[in-house]
Amino acid sequence: MSTFEFPTAIGASDATSITLLGHDLASELLGQVGFAELAYWLVAMRRPTPGELRLFEAVLVALADHGLTPTVIAARMTLTGAPESLQGAVAAGLLGGGSRYLGVTEDCGRFLAETLAAHAAAGNALPADGDTDGWDALALAAVRVRRDAGGYVPGLGHPVHKDVDPRTPVMFGLAETEGVLGPHLRLFDAVGRVHEQVLGRRLPLNGAGVCGAVLADIGLPVDMLRGFALLARTAGLLGHLAEETRNPIGPALYDAVDRSAVYEPPPV
């Protein structure tokens, strides 16, 4: 393996120092960089602006918890069986972060980014910020294409928040305040206005979707958006696993499921 080299830009260390992202960890980062800021930096390979950071923290807070979801149930059940392995319970919880739940953030960011990229690739300029008609036309075309291809339009609808997802207007407001409201959010906003013309019913812009639009607008790579949902969810899982340790519901949940099982033997 003498000729192999594994390049990395993340970090390195020697006997007296640790370097992270080109900075001395001890003297330049500890106490001077926040954790969310570091998480952004590790992926984007640049520090966020203060406005980007505020939105990034808001997204992580928005995505941290959604109650006793399937991923939380999986994590708590895993801790019930293997209480000695907290890492196993966290990992089990993250593994449910796939296409149906945590995937919406990434799907929405990608849908918006691909729409913008295709528009630019066709030689078009983006609409001006206040050109509502221009954004609506772009959104309408994108929703139609997606619908005609048999795909779903990500970021629309929520099983509980039927009219308005309370996170959505707040995230738009924060982005406006911080000056980071960019083309992904503008396009997403327009999707909210026009989708009824194509889909035949009005659905709210959901929180997972707006978080995907925000993450794209603050400069994070679309391929990694699910990763930030996983990071946020890790904090939520720790909260649930700490609660499970203090006040377990796992055994009662197992008992409840077991009592509700109905055995329907197969034809022998």
Specify burial of residue 200 (Cβ count, 10 A radius: 0-12, 13-18, 19+).
exposed
Among 77, 116, 138, 185, binds its own copies (CB under 8 A): 77
In 3D space, the residue among 197, 178, 189 whose CA is nearest the CA of residue 108 turns out to be 189
- DSSP H or E run through 55: helix 50-63
Which two tokens mark 263? 């055995």
Q: Which is nearer to its own copies, 80 or 132 (CB)?
A: 80
Contact between 264 and its own copies (CB under 8 A)?
yes
Q: What is the DSSP string of 91-112?
A: HHHHHT-STTTTHHHHHHHHHH
Among 6, 125, 133, 148, binds its own copies (CB under 8 A): 6
Q: Are the C-beta atoms of residues 132 and 187 closer than 8 Å to each other?
A: no
Q: How far is the CB of 123 from its own copies (least distance, A)?
A: 24
Query: How many angstroms separate the CA atoms of 187 and 138, rounded?
Result: 8
Q: Which is nearer to its own copies, 158 or 198 (CB)?
A: 158
Site for its own copies in 169-198 (CB under 8 A): 169-171, 174
What lies within 8 Å, CB to CB, of 158 at 6+ separation is 165, 204, 206, 207
Segment contacting its own copies by CB under 8 A, of 35-43, 109-117, 126-134, 192-200: 35-43
Contact between 239 and its own copies (CB under 8 A)?
yes
Q: How far is the CB of 198 from its own copies (least distance, A)?
A: 25
Tell me the three-class secondary structure of 108-140, residue by residue: HHHHHHHHHHHHHHCCCCCCCCCCHHHHHHHHH
Site for its own copies in 152-171 (CB under 8 A): 160-164, 166-167, 169-171
Q: Are the C-beta atoms of residues 249 and 76 closer than 8 Å to each other?
A: yes
Site for its own copies in 107-146 (CB under 8 A): none
Among 54, 119, 184, 195, binds its own copies (CB under 8 A): 54
Contact between 58 and its own copies (CB under 8 A)?
yes
Segment contacting its own copies by CB under 8 A, of 108-116, 123-131, 179-187, 256-264: 256-264
Among 42, 118, 137, 199, binds its own copies (CB under 8 A): 42
Site for its own copies in 206-225 (CB under 8 A): 221, 223-224
